[in-house]
Amino acid sequence: MSAEGLNGFAEEVADWVADNLPEGLKGKNFGLAMDPSISMDDLTTWRDRLAEKGWGAPTWPVEYGGAGLSHPAAKVISKELAKAGGFNPIPGMAGMGVTMVGPTILEYGTEDQKQRHLPGIASGKVRWCLGLSEPGAGSDLASLSTKAVDAGDHFVLNGQKTWTSGANISQWCGALVRTDPDAPKRDGISFVMLPMDDAGVETRPIQLISGASPFCETFFTDARADKTDLLGPLNEGWSVVKRLLQHERQSQTSAATGSVEGESLQDMAKRYIGTSEDGSLADTDLRTRIIKHLMDDQAHKLTVARITAEARGNVEVSAAASILKNSATHVAQSKSELSLEIMGSQGIGWEGNGFTDAELDIVRGWLWGKAVSIYGGSAEVQNNIISKNILGLPETTQQG
Amino acid sequence: MTALTEEQTLIRSQAQSWAEQEAPVAAFRAMRDADTPNRFTPATWQSMVEMGWTGILIPEQYGGSDLGYLTFGLVLEENGRQLTASPLFASALVGASALLLGGTAKQKEAVLPKIVDGSEILTLAVDEGPRHAPEQTALKAEKTNSGYKLTGAKTFVMEGMAATTFVIPARTSGEAGDSAGISLFLVSADAAGLSREVMHTADSRGFARLDLSGVELAEDAVLGTADEGLELLESILDRARAGLGAEMLGTASQAFDMTIDYLKTRVQFGKVIGSFQALGHRAAILFSAKELARSCVEAALQAIDEGADNVAELSSLSKARVGEYLYNMSNELIQMHGGIGMTDEFDAGFYLKRARVLETAFGNSSYHRDRYARILGF
């Protein structure tokens, strides 16, 4: 689509949104902290209208529930939605479906798999979770031990997964399992997909340092995954998951520095701490550290913009994903730490009347944010990827 | 941000092969060892003029090519990689910017073509003490019947011994620290009452101290508006900072590449040292920081080319971020090379010394963090 085409398209989208976005959803927050006043009926109506246009996953082909649009055109949709105070609820409602599983199915799936799974994801009606980490396989994911034994037309799964986000509310799961126990560790792994209502699947939510969380433990006891739901070739699940994780890093890069825009850190600091006569923050040491953070934040955003421009608007998963994941994480975590420090003793509350809701949210967010440098490949794993895959430094002696 | 155009990519690769072949760090070493006057080789400077680099910012009517600051930055980056010594930055970027931003048609006609053909070397003489502080300008410019009389001193003047014309901010009214009362002057190096003296800096480049004792100037020596020069000066400085950021990025990038090469070849404990995770992670962190610094550098230069309203903010961001990166990278260059990095025979020391000099020029990282904060009203 040309620049003019995009402008025309933007108008078309704006008109459609004006006609279709339910009044009750305008300006509401949807995401980790969903506005409790959002009506489920409104949400379902809005989801279905978007899905009908294929705008839940606009870059996917039309035959699988997408709209077959280019990345710049998809961006136009999100921009116009934001302008009208709306949001696209489908990626959130599909769990890991739109951001990770779907793109991987598009790349590795059979025609049958694409037809059976993608439309459900693109409509936001089928939520997916991912069974990757295990209690004994975190950063060293390839040491996983959940077994899948060949039983003719299906596999029988036994083992435990952990950090399965949204497992208790998902309908489907993509799981990394060991199909050849005798092969070297990365070579005996496969990626299977199975329904969560199978009798052999059990989930248990995990309580975190920040309180309740979307994470679960997921137990497979003779759970069944059909062979028609093996994604990619048998015993080549490691390649599939590497690609899937690149999609994950890509989506986290935009998420970590995205939406939550309230009071700026500078204004907040002035409010809690006060200013000197010249209008600068009274605490000069903290001022310097806040400025370093603001520069980190701007440098990160400029880098996302530069890499996007260099990719000619088509940000495919790339080597840059590891750099951006670490930098987004650093920016988000240091913002939380600085916010806490700015609030002083108001920044150590857990609950109750002595603290505002905003203060309590920041404390919970600070604790929750510690997860960001651990999940999706820890900061250390990203640095391994950069040093080996980008810089070409030799493998460490330990097989990573 | 936009990606580099094909023309820009081409100019960069031409600059890269020229610098690697014609003006590599070995040539810099030879220049230092020979104690070359003015601290650059005239033949190197001449080839830059012939390649048209002196005209990159200058409109075609004055003999230039008007390709913009981002393009100039790419050339400076490649020169920064090889520590190529020349007055290109001081004259064709800073000096040309001063004329382009503040010059009358007559001043432009008189000077710009000479910057392009290399017959004039311009430089900005701004600092008067050890800390960069433009509003503290105290060098006195008294009004006379025929114009002005300048008295005072300037220090840390880049290419100050080779320059033929200085751009000198001076105080026409008020006191040091006042934002009003500063005026910019074009002063010929052979003006009566002007003397200069070499400053031997650690990086073996050309710096000078200027002494002006009653230098008489005509009315038309004023660049821009008398008494209201600080804004013009800051605009020139922002272009200098953004341009220098590109050169610093090149210097840091070369230090990074040298370090990675060493990590891949140096063997200790029976292994290539790059296989040790402690070093691999440091390399990964330095690589990521380099990519972030590059974005700041390119954003500042692009903002100038686009006439954006956040040039000051982005120039300070660029100078501060690339300054921090160059500081870390030049230290890691020495540390990761170990003993060989400490020897004069190896090039690492050149990069470390040059790093600190460039970090200091036109405001160090701490200066620009504070300035960035003030721009944000913080």
- Best of B179, B288, B370 to mutate (most A CBs within 10 Å, chain A): B288
Classify residue A138 by its DSSP letter. S
Cβ contact A391–B283 (<8 Å): yes
- Judged by a CB distance cut-off of 8 A, whether residue B138 touches chain A is no
Check residues B43 and A400 and name the one with the higher pLDDT: B43
**Single-letter code of the amino acid located at B125:** A
- The C-alpha of A139 sits at a distance from chain B's nearest C-alpha, in angstroms, of 15
- Judged by a CB distance cut-off of 8 A, whether residue B303 touches chain A is no
Classify residue A393 by its DSSP letter. P
- Give one word for B275, left, alpha or beta, with left for phi > 0 and alpha for psi -120 to 50: alpha
**How far, in Å, CA of B247 to CA of B182, rounded?**
29
Q: How would residue B245 be classed by pLDDT, with cut points 50, 70 and 90? A: very high
pLDDT tens for each residue of A350-361: 998 999 988 999
Q: How would residue A317 be classed by pLDDT, with cut points 50, 70 and 90? A: low
- The C-alpha of A30 sits at a distance from chain B's nearest C-alpha, in angstroms, of 29
**How far, in Å, CA of A142 to CA of A184, rounded?**
10
Residue A359 designated active-site: no
> B143 in helix, strand or coil?
strand
Check residues B257 and A258 and name the one with the higher pLDDT: B257
Token pair listed for A125: 């009606």
Window 30-59 of B, Cβ < 8 Å to A: none
* Chain A environment of B299 (Cβ under 8 Å): 302, 305-306
pLDDT of residue B14: 97
pLDDT tens for each residue of B168-222: 999 999 999 999 999 999 999 999 999 999 999 999 999 999 999 999 999 999 9
* Side-chain half-sphere CA neighbours of A397 within 13 A: 7
- Judged by a CB distance cut-off of 8 A, whether residue B5 touches chain A is no
pLDDT reading at A254 higher than 80: no
Cβ contact B378–A287 (<8 Å): yes
- Judged by a CB distance cut-off of 8 A, whether residue A387 touches chain B is yes
Mean pLDDT, to the nearest integer, of A367-378? Answer: 92
pLDDT reading at B129 higher than 50: yes
Token pair listed for B32: 């230092």
- Judged by a CB distance cut-off of 8 A, whether residue B274 touches chain A is yes
**How far, in Å, CA of A352 to CA of A376, rounded?**
34
Residue A218 dihedral angles phi and psi, to the nearest 5°? -130, 125
Q: Is B145 exposed, middle or buried (0-12, 13-18, 19+ CB in 10 A)?
A: exposed
Whole-prediction pTM: 0.85
CA-CA-CA-CA torsion for A69, A70, A74, A80, nearest 10 degrees?
A: -90
Instruction: ipTM value, please give it.
Output: 0.94
Helix-strand-coil split of chain B, %, nearest 5: 60, 15, 25
Taking CA atoms, A38 is separated from A56, A88, A126, in Å, by 19, 14, 20
Buried b (16+ CB within 10 A) or exposed e, B230-241: bebbbbbbbbbb
Cβ contact B296–A298 (<8 Å): yes
Mean pLDDT, to the nearest integer, of A244-266? Answer: 67
CB B221 within 8 A of CB B203: no
- Judged by a CB distance cut-off of 8 A, whether residue B269 touches chain A is no
Sign, CA torsion A22/A28/A31/A35: negative
- Judged by a CB distance cut-off of 8 A, whether residue A227 touches chain B is no
Token pair listed for A250: 């890509």
For residue B129, how far is the Cα from the chain centroid? 18
User: How many CB pairs below 8 Å do chains A and B form together?
Assistant: 117
| % residues pLDDT > 70 (chain A) | 93
* CB atoms closer than 10 angstroms to residue B87: 26
pLDDT of residue A256: 41
Classify residue B342 by its DSSP letter. G
* CB atoms closer than 10 angstroms to residue B368: 26
Q: Which residues contact B224 (CB under 8 A, 6 or more apart)?
A: B101, B102, B183, B184, B232
CB B321 within 8 A of CB B370: no
pLDDT reading at A261 higher than 60: no
B275, B293, B294 member nearest A394 (Cβ): B275
Taking CA atoms, A154 is separated from A192, A194, A224, A354, B357, in Å, by 10, 10, 7, 57, 68
Cβ contact B321–A266 (<8 Å): no
Radius of gyration of chain A (CA): 22
Residue with tokens 């935009």: A254
Which of A80, A134, A236, A248 is labelled catalytic?
A248
* Chain B environment of A319 (Cβ under 8 Å): none
* CB atoms closer than 10 angstroms to residue A110: 14
Classify residue A152 by its DSSP letter. S
pLDDT reading at A255 higher than 60: no
